[in-house]
Amino acid sequence: MQVKVAIDLALDRLFTYEVPEELEKKLAVGQLLLVPFGHREARGFAMELVGEGDGKGIVLKPVKAIVDETPFFSAALLKLVAQIAAYTASPLETVLHAAIPAAVLKPGMRAKEQMFVEPVPAASTTDGLTKHQQWLYEQIVRLGGGWMQQLCRELKTTPTTLRTLAQKGVVAVAPRQKRRDPLAGRRVLPSKPLPLNAEQRAALDLIVTEGEASSPPILLHGITGSGKTEVYLQAIAAELEAGRGAIVMVPEIALTPQTVQRFASRFGNRIAVLHSALSDGERYDEWHRIRSGEARVVIGPRSAVFAPVRNLGLVVVDEEHETSYKQDETPRYHARDVAVMRGAIEGARVVLGSATPSLESWMNVRRGKYAYAPMTKRAGAGTLPHVLLVNMDLNVNRGKIFSQELLEAIRLRLDRSEQTILFLNRRGYSRSVTCASCQHVLTCPDCSVPYTYHQADTCCRCHVCGGWIPVPAACPACQSPDLTYKGIGTQRAEAALKQCFRGARVLRMDADSTSRKNSHDDILGAFRRHEADILLGTQMIAKGLDFPNVTLVGVLNADSSLNMPDFRAAERTYQLLAQVAGRAGRAELPGDAIIQTYDPSSPAIRAAARGDYAAFAEEELAEREACGFPPFCHLATVNLRSKDPKLVADWSDMYAKSLMKVPGLTVGEAVPSALEKAEGWYRWQVLLRAPKVSSIVRAWRWIASARPAPTGLRIALDVDAYSLM
């Protein structure tokens, strides 16, 4: 027997090894193997078992060992990995490693063992124990045993004393595996299914009855607060009852704690959590709980789509429109599309949920590729908020952070003991530091972006590379001490809020305030407990959060995303505004949303204020079709970067001119990326469009083979690109 192995290197090819006779009955596809490779040993995954070769004198090296007899990949997951590699033109090995948390493959990482103490049921007597030892024994019996560390704390004793009890034969002490539980310390109260309205019931029936292998994905288009999560919960309950498992994907780590809380309250320890904020040990334990079948429901961001759930029956992609589902490094997959692929391979139902669907999914409904489940009413007593557009370009508002309308609305909520969410998608204090004399802007030397001033740590920080400098005493260009701070970030807005409302309790949630573990959960938990009156934050607070006492949402600058150099700018603006406005009025109390904008005539902003997705989609799709942009074609970018500006410019031009000769491909001229320099690398871009992805991939493989990148130049293809920066 022979086995084809994907080695732990991005070589994009399989290597064939002889299977020793003693391993033939043990070796299976998907296992992690130890094999000889050159002058060293390497690890790799068994991809395919084959019979003996043709015997033409090729001597194969034998497999050294099976690292883990339980396969890391099922046959279905290996098929999924191969499809992703082909679709994204990525090395197979890179996709394999993206599908497994790094902690799982980390050498030396293993299940955690601790000493467990339990009473010996057959203990005939406690004679010979001191009074203190007898009391300890009685407490252990009462508690039913426990982890030695925990018992020592609770009973105020030492491991030595407990081991003495073991020597006396009244308790047993043995090592046991202890789960590193990401939910440890959280209080989760059980919950029961809620009654469904007619639209929720229709959506649930569509999900539960559309269970054949040929069933199309379902777009669950529910307005904010329409009760999509309750539909997910009841659909998953049906899957569990049928002996199947489920995956629930959320776009942001910030959404994970609240989502986990709701799912844990319904399904208890049958859920597992996978996301990047977990420790290596927690990720290791959670992944193995899923692989073993102990955990049947998995919750997490995009990488959760690869979770090794046994007998997968349902995949839910919540907020399916979110760009964070797109991986920005190789393999550049989109988790929503991977979920659809996996559903087709494993015969699982796929539900894509959103109040503001991506235009790609909307078009798939129109083309008949997806089923459609609309939910147009808020569940329970909630009503959609009244939305007010405020023109910040008027003299009365120009230069202000808060309009008079917003200040009065916040004050009213404070008087009523209601809560407010304020959205500003820019962190820091001021977006730039400029010399008033010569107009010089302090700019990061490694990136083509201005430094952002951070008052909290009194420095100028680059939001691309993370570099920083102390605030200079004078302009480095003309030595003038007259430096001005332009634009507003969350830190400046927070300071202004505290000055306007001195008694108000304000929480800020952005990348700076959520850097430590569990900080998302801590901030949102404090706000839910009404330990703060105002939550101010970036886009991590814009969607998926449900606070019954929030009756006001304020958007401080609705135009920031409109000004991005991207054909999806209007779509993202609509989605962001509609989502953040939907945080208000989700319970009995009615809500308001105030959107501050310098362009109140913008179609995207006006449509978001009306909550009219269908009208926005029709207008935007007409423009996309006229210009030949997705979803009417597939778009990819060839991204080139180098420390040498001439090298990257010359090669970008050569790539563009060569690709223009490929039939069936629309190729743009080579241009510097919108973010022309990042972390010291000069960046260029070539835009490719074609009716089919296969045309783009074939052209890419040809050019990459015919014109391999020289030393000092890095080139990558991004299929179905979501960022043109």
Report pLDDT digits (tens) over 101-148: 888 888 777 777 788 899 887 665 667 888 888 889 888 888 888 888
User: DSSP secondary-structure letter at 78?
Assistant: H
Strands 312-318 and 349-354: parallel
CB atoms within 10 A of CB 192: 6
pLDDT of residue 391 exceeding 90: yes
- Looking at residue 249, its pLDDT comes to 95
| Beta bridge partner(s), residue 18 | 2, 62
> Are 552 and 409 contacting, i.e. CB atoms less than 8 angstroms apart?
yes
- Looking at residue 178, its pLDDT comes to 77
Nearest to 219 by CA among 400, 377, 340: 340
Tell me the mean pLDDT in the region 420-432.
94
- Looking at residue 574, its pLDDT comes to 96
pLDDT of residue 571 exceeding 70: yes
What is the band of 335 on the pLDDT scale with cuts at 50, 70, 90? very high
Percentage of the chain beyond pLDDT 70 is 97
The Cα–Cα gap between 58 and 288 comes to 39
- Looking at residue 123, its pLDDT comes to 61
Taking each helix axis as running N to C, give the angle between helix 603-610 and helix 569-581, from 0 to 180 degrees, rounded to the nearest 10.
Answer: 30
Average pLDDT, the chain: 92
Residue type, 419: Q
- Looking at residue 53, its pLDDT comes to 61
What is the band of 40 on the pLDDT scale with cuts at 50, 70, 90? very high
Q: Copy the structure tokens of residue 159.
A: 């491991």
What is the band of 55 on the pLDDT scale with cuts at 50, 70, 90? low
Tell me the mean pLDDT in the region 16-35.
94
> Are 682 and 445 contacting, i.e. CB atoms less than 8 angstroms apart?
no
> Are 689 and 635 contacting, i.e. CB atoms less than 8 angstroms apart?
yes
The C-alpha torsion from 462 through 468 and 470 to 471, rounded to 10°, is 0
- Looking at residue 56, its pLDDT comes to 59
> Are 15 and 5 contacting, i.e. CB atoms less than 8 angstroms apart?
yes
Distance set, CA 59 to CA 2, 263, 714 (Å): 12, 54, 37
- Looking at residue 149, its pLDDT comes to 85
Strands 40-50 and 550-555: unpaired
The Cα–Cα gap between 725 and 715 comes to 15
Place of tokens 């704390």: 153
Place of tokens 């193997």: 33
Strands 550-555 and 592-597: parallel
Q: Is 345 helix (H, G, I), strand (E, B) or coil?
A: helix
Report pLDDT digits (tens) over 217-273: 999 999 999 999 999 999 999 999 999 999 999 987 766 667 888 899 999 989 999
- Looking at residue 415, its pLDDT comes to 96
What is the band of 411 on the pLDDT scale with cuts at 50, 70, 90? very high
Report pLDDT digits (tens) over 183-196: 776 778 889 999 99
The Cα–Cα gap between 654 and 414 comes to 61
Phi and psi, residue 395, nearest 5°: -55, -35
> Are 396 and 413 contacting, i.e. CB atoms less than 8 angstroms apart?
no
List domains and CATH numbers for the chain.
Answer: 2-105 (3.40.1440.60), 113-177 (1.10.10.10), 198-375 (3.40.50.300), 386-429+488-623 (3.40.50.300), 634-719 (3.30.70.600)
Phi-psi map region of 278: left, alpha, beta (phi>0 left; psi -120 to 50 alpha): beta
pLDDT of residue 725 exceeding 60: yes
> Are 101 and 279 contacting, i.e. CB atoms less than 8 angstroms apart?
no
Q: State which H helix or E strand residue 682 sits in.
A: strand 681-690
Q: Which of 62-66, 283-287, 599-603 has the lowest mean pLDDT?
A: 283-287
- Looking at residue 383, its pLDDT comes to 84
Peptide bond into 251 cis (omega under 30): no
Percentage of the chain beyond pLDDT 90 is 74
